[in-house]
Structures are given as C-alpha cells and as structure tokens.
Amino acid sequence: VCFTLGGLDCSISFISHVLGKVCIHGRQKEILSVLVPHLTELTQSDCIWQRMCWRLVECVPERWMEAVLLGFVQRAPGADVLSRLLGNLVVKNKKAQFVLTQKMLLLQYGHKTAVLQNLLGYLSLDPLRRPFLIQVLQELLETWGSSSAVKHSPPEQQQYISKAILICLSHLKESEIESCRQELLTSMMEGVKCHLDSNLPHIRRLGMIVAESISLKINTDGPVLKFQYEEDDETRELKSLLVQTTPCCAVPSLPDEEEDEKAAGQPSVSDGDRRSQTAAPVVPAGESDSELDSDDDLIPYDMSEDKELQAKAPLYLRDCIEVLTGCEDVDKWEATVKALESLIRRNPATTREVSVELAKILLHLEEKTCTEGFAELRQRAQVAVLTTDPIPVAQYLTSQFYSLNYSLRQRVDILDVLVLAAQELSCPKSHGKTKHSVTSKPGIQLLPGSDSSKDWRRIVDERIKSKTRRIATGQTQVELASGPNEFNSVAGHFFFPLIQHFDRPLTTFDLLGEDHFVLGRLVHTLAVLMYLAVNTVAVTAMGKALLEFVWTLRFHTDCYVRQGLLSCVSSLLLSVPAERLLEDMTEELLEAQAWLGDVVEKDPDGDCRRLALHNLLLMENLKKKLQIVPS
C-alpha cells in the first residue's frame, strides 16, 4: 500500500474502509505490521502525513473502529508514536473514546504492560486529552476500591488494573495531583481496606503496592505509607511502572523516598558519631613496644573453660511447668522453652500425667524475650504433647478452638498443631528410635509455619500423580519399617469436634461471618486430616461428614475457602475406599459431580477451576477402577 504525495483532494476514506474490513476479519497483525512502521517513519517529521494518517483512522467506520484501534495501540512502538498516528482521535470520535478509555482498561485485561504504557502515555501527551487521563484514573480507582470487584474478579484482571493505576499515577503532574488529592486519598483508603481483607496473599500485596504508590504521590513531604511485604520480581516490576523515563514525568519518586528515609533516621546515632569525633584520634599501640616488656614474665593460665554463660534449663517436666507459669528469671524461661520439646518426648509417662495442663500453658504462652524461632519452638512442643497423649489433648484443643476470647493466631495455631501431630501419628515409626523421621512419605513434607495452601495443593497433586499412573516395575523403593498406624485410634477425636460447631457464632468468633480467614484454614485442615485418615477405621464416617460439610459451604464467596472445600473433596475421594464411596455415598457424589462441573466452567478463580477438574478426573478414575473389577 503506498500513497502518492500530490493530489490535494484525495479521499482516503476508501483506504479506511479497506483497513477496517481487514482488521475486523482478524488480519490486524499482517496489515498493521507493514502499515505502522511505514506510517511511523513518514509521520516523523512531516505534518501532512500526520494529518493524512489521522484522517485515515477517523474515516474507519464505527463498527470496525475497535479492531483498528486495538491493532494500532498494540503495534505502536511508543506512546509518542501512537500520538502522532492517532492525533486527537479520542476527543473527536465517540467510539474511539469508548474503546480507549473504557473497554481496553476496564472490560479487557489481557493486554501486555507495553500496551498499557502506550495507551496511557498517549492520553497524557496532549493537553486536550489529559482530562481523559484523569477520568480514566478515577474510574480505575473506583474499580480498584470496590470490595465486590476485589472479591469476584480474577486476579489477572486485578493485576492489570493495578498496573494501569500505577502508570496513570506516573503521568500525573503536580497541579493535577493537587486538584484531586482528596479523591485519591479517599479511594486509596477504601481500596486498601478491601484488599487487605482478602485471603489471598497476592491480592493483599497488590493492594499494598498500589496504596503505597498513591500515598507517595499525594504526600511528597512528610511520612508516606509503607507496608511490609516480600519483594520479588513482580513487586519490583510494578514499582518500576511508577517512574517514567520520558521527560513528561511529574514528580520523580525515587529521591523523595531517600529523603524520607533520612528524615526518619535516628538523630541519636549521628549525635553519637559527632561526639566521638571530638576525642582525638586513637593512639597507635606500637609506641609501647619500645619499653622493656615485663609483661612477658607473666605466664597466662589455661583459659579454655572460659565460655559463654548459659542458663540451665530444668531437667524435670514439672519444673518446666513451674518456670513457664511463674518464673521471673527470663534466662531460665528462655532455656526452658528451648529444652521443652525434647523433655516431653523423653518422658512420655510424665507427659501423660500433665498433658492437658502443658497444652493449656503452651497455647497461652506469649513471647517474653526475643528468642529466635519462638513460634516454632512453641509449636514443636505442642505437637510433642499432642502426639504423646492424643485423646485428652485433642479434646482440649478442639474445644478451645470454638471457645471465646482466643486470638485468631491461637485458633490457627490449634489447627496447625492438629495437622502436624496427625501427620506424625500416621507415619510409621522405626522401632527403637525416638526421633521421628518426618520425611518417610517421599516428597510430601509438611513444614511447620509454611503457607498451608501451597502444601495442600502439592500433596493432592502428588497423590493424584501416584494414583493415575500405573508403574509396576517391582520393588524400586526400599521397604520402610512398618508399625501400627497410631492415627487410627484418634483420627475421629481430631476430626469430628472441629466440624461440629462451625455454624454457631460466638460473640468474638464467627466462622461464617467476618472470620472467613479462619474458616479457610479450618477447611484446609479438615482436608489434610481426611487425607491422613486413609486406612483408618473411621474414614468412611469422616468422609460422609466432610461431604455434608462441603455441601453446605460450596457457594462461599471467598476463593480461599472454596479452594479448601475442593481439596476436601480430593482428600475424601483419595482416602475413602472406593467401594465405600460408591455404596454409601452415591447420590451425594452424583450431586457433587454436577457441582464440580459448574465450578470448572464458571468459577472466576483459576486454582478453583483446576482443583475441580482434578476432582472430576478422580471420580472418573474411580468409576473406571470399579468397572474393571467384575462386580
């Protein structure tokens, strides 16, 4: 396609039609890959070509405008080029305005960051178009701050909107920020609240980064909002969007950050430095060598015993209890906390006598000194108590889970401890050894303190992998030492009390209401307990109860809870023996199958869809397995 420079009254509308028709048929890439570079070159310095290009795009009929525009925005190598190519199209053409300011930002979310940069840069480059930038920012913030959007829209869309907001912020000038400072502040506060309320760490982090960026922009002097989160490539990428390399950037953000840090720094440290400067420099030690050294006459004694002093921990369990409940000596307290787990494990008989008391003390134990790994030490001691005397301690812990006046941390602790103890009990112990090797199940390891949702997924995946492939090549693994499954006798005690009272709200604890975070963790815990209950006697009863539980909660709005519910279904499909499943739970399973199919198609969260698909596959395998066996 080439244009002749000459004729004054050329009508370009024919070309526009052709362009539009080609684009709408999906051939944007081919035609624009040739057209756009040409036009970029031609319009670089020549105004006439620019005008012709504008005319070209303006004349594209309405119904094909979107396709053409999309293509241009995607293909343009930069915002300034896009500006040259499109001119003030967004002002003149209603359809273009809709596509560029609404559709591409709010209704679509598949575009790359470069495309967003092009689009928003284009809006910012011309004073006629800048009002659109502000309008776009306001609408984006409205979406970002709406709690229903945060709950229901897919995480990819939320990330897209966050990126768009950051890029808009980077383009704003001081004066513009001044004029809409109050609105920015209000939307930031609302948005931060919804984001921090979410159970998914990814969403929380997005909220934190955007809120920090907005705060940085509106408070150029004085303290800015600063959250604590883990930095990784994603956060660095997002933060880099705040800084524009083009000169139209309003306020450079990085020097401000440094100044803020210096201002907040400790004045006492610098004072201390100044004071030591007044003392004259250190006298070199060499000058005393000239004197006759009579120190050599003094022979040192053996000082190898001179080691760091360590407080001694008590040797008896009841002494430990005394120290933990009343002792003022913090060194002794710290030494006791460190020694507790091994003492519990070495004295099972004594532990059984005081198990519930110990469990109570440990549940309420607060950190007194700055001990490293305190939470882990406490958790290990709790697990030790629970495994040594499972039934009474499990009864105590599960009853406390539903009691008044516990913090969320304590309730979640109870759940974690139950899971870790269950895992330890269900693993075969090698005879004669007191140390339990937790890695006896290859590849599946519950690390205390790590994010449980990742582990459940890994566990389910591993189990599915091991079940759906038949590799029968004989003994490839060393036979592990076997012992009785200690979880068998106590599985019910761990499981049923947890599932009993979930729908009864207390004044400070409402699982079905505000405390959906704990509900999510509870559901995941039940999934693991179910999984570990394989080969126990109570597994069928547990499976039935669990399926009923899942059924009541299946439409929960929080996606972390839904993921947990789907893991529960996986666990029960894997643990309950197939015959029992098909005999006792046929109707429920069929209903569940229908529900799972629905989830696969309609759930906004990618992980939920994937888990539902796994479950459907497991059900299929189940049917096939039973069809193979002649009934």
Partner 1 sequence: MALPPPDPQFVLRGTSAAVHTLHFSCGGQEPDVPVLFSGSESGLIHVWNLKTCRVDTVLDGHERNSVYCVETMGSKDRLLSQGRDQRICLWDLAEGRTSVIDSVFTENVGFCRCSLLKVAQGHWLMAMASKALEEVQVLELPSKTSVCTLKPEVGAKLGMPMCLKLWQLSCGSQPLLLAGYEDGSVVLWNLSMGKALSQLVCHQEPVMSLDFDSEKTKGISGSSEKVLSIWSLNEQQNLQVYKTHKLVNAGISDTAIRPDKKILATAGWDHRIRIFGWKKMKPLAVLDYHTATVHCVSFSDHNQPSERLLAAGSKDHRISIWSIYTQT
Nearer to partner 1, 283 or 478 (CB): 283
Taking the C-alpha atoms of residue 262 and residue 264, their distance in angstroms, rounded to an integer, is 5
The H-or-E segment that residue 261 falls in is helix 253-264
| Chain-centre distance for alpha carbon 631 | 47
Nearer to partner 1 (CB atom), residue 275 or residue 602: 275
User: Which pairs from 364-367 meet CB under 8 Å and 24+ separation?
Assistant: 364/410, 365/324, 365/337
CB of 301 to partner 1, least distance (A): 4
Enumerate binding residues for partner 1 (CB under 8 A).
272, 275-276, 278-283, 285, 288, 291, 293-295, 297-303, 305-309
Nearest to 144 by CA among 58, 44, 214, 83: 214
Nearer to partner 1, 287 or 587 (CB): 287
In terms of CB distance, is 182 or 369 closer to partner 1?
Answer: 369
Q: Which amino acid is at 220?
A: T
CB of 340 to partner 1, least distance (A): 25
For partner 1, which is the closer residue by CB, 233 or 295? 295
Please, which residue, 275 or 454, has the CB nearer to partner 1? 275
Residue indicated by tokens 């499109």:
86
In 408-454, beta strands by DSSP E: none
**Nearest-angstrom CA–CA distance, 180 and 173:** 11
Cα 69 from Cα 16, distance rounded (Å): 12
* Angle at which helices 113-125 and 79-86 cross, to 10°: 60
Residue pair 521/415 in contact (Cβ under 8 Å)? The answer is yes
- Smallest separation (angstroms) from partner 1 to the CB of 314: 17
Both tokens of residue 104?
A: 């591409």
**Residue closer to partner 1, measured from CB, 279 or 629:** 279
- Helices 516-532 and 491-500: angle between axes, nearest 10 degrees: 150
User: CA-CA distance, 137 to 38, in Å (whole number)?
Assistant: 33
Q: How far is the CB of 268 from partner 1 (least distance, A)?
A: 10
> Cβ of residue 283: shortest distance to partner 1, in angstroms?
6
CB of 281 to partner 1, least distance (A): 7
Residue 580, CA atoms < 13 Å, CB-side half-sphere = 17
Report the nearest approach of partner 1 to the CB of residue 372 (Å). 18
Is residue 210 within 8 A of residue 144, CB to CB? The reply is yes
| DSSP letter (8 states) at residue 229 | -
Nearest-approach distance from CB 285 to partner 1, in angstroms = 7
CB 450 within 8 A of CB 361: no
Report the C-alpha gap between 323 and 314 in whole angstroms.
8
Instruction: Quote the CA–CA distance of 154 and 606 in Å, as a whole number.
Output: 8
The number of angstroms, rounded, from the C-alpha of 88 to the middle of its chain's C-alpha atoms is 41
Of 25, 126, 26, the residue nearest 80 (C-alpha): 126
Contact criterion met (CB below 8 Å) for 184 and 165: no
Residue 310 CB neighbours (<10 A): 10
Is 53 exposed, middle or buried (CB count within 10 Å of its CB: 0-12, 13-18, 19+)?
buried
Q: What is the DSSP string of 529-546?
A: HHHHTTT-TTHHHHHHHH
Q: How far is the CB of 287 from partner 1 (least distance, A)?
A: 10
> Least CB distance from residue 331 to partner 1, whole Å?
12
Nearer to partner 1, 293 or 479 (CB): 293
- Whether residue 527 contacts residue 575, with contact meaning beta carbons closer than 8 Å, is answered with no
Cβ closest to partner 1, residue 291 vs residue 366? 291
User: Residue 293 CB, nearest distance to partner 1 (Å)?
Assistant: 7
- 3-state secondary structure (DSSP) of residue 352: helix
Q: Choose between 127 and 286: whose C-beta lies nearer to partner 1.
A: 286
What would you report as the CA-atom Rg of the chain, rounded to the nearest whole angstrom?
33
Tokens of 201: 């760490």
Number of H helices, E strands in the chain: 31, 0
Of 282 and 472, nearer to partner 1 (C-beta) is: 282
Closer of 288 and 508 to partner 1 (Cβ): 288
Q: Which is nearer to partner 1, 313 or 425 (CB)?
A: 313
Residue with tokens 């049923």: 496
As measured in angstroms, the least distance from the Cβ of 330 to partner 1 is 14
Minimal distance, residue 406 CB to partner 1, in Å: 38
Tell me how far, at minimum, the Cβ of 280 lies from partner 1, in Å. 5
- Indicate the residue among 300 and 432 with the shorter CB distance to partner 1: 300
> How many whole angstroms separate alpha carbon 324 and alpha carbon 332?
9
Least separation in angstroms between CB 300 and partner 1: 5
Q: Which is nearer to partner 1, 309 or 349 (CB)?
A: 309
Rounded CA-CA distance 89/92 in Å is 5
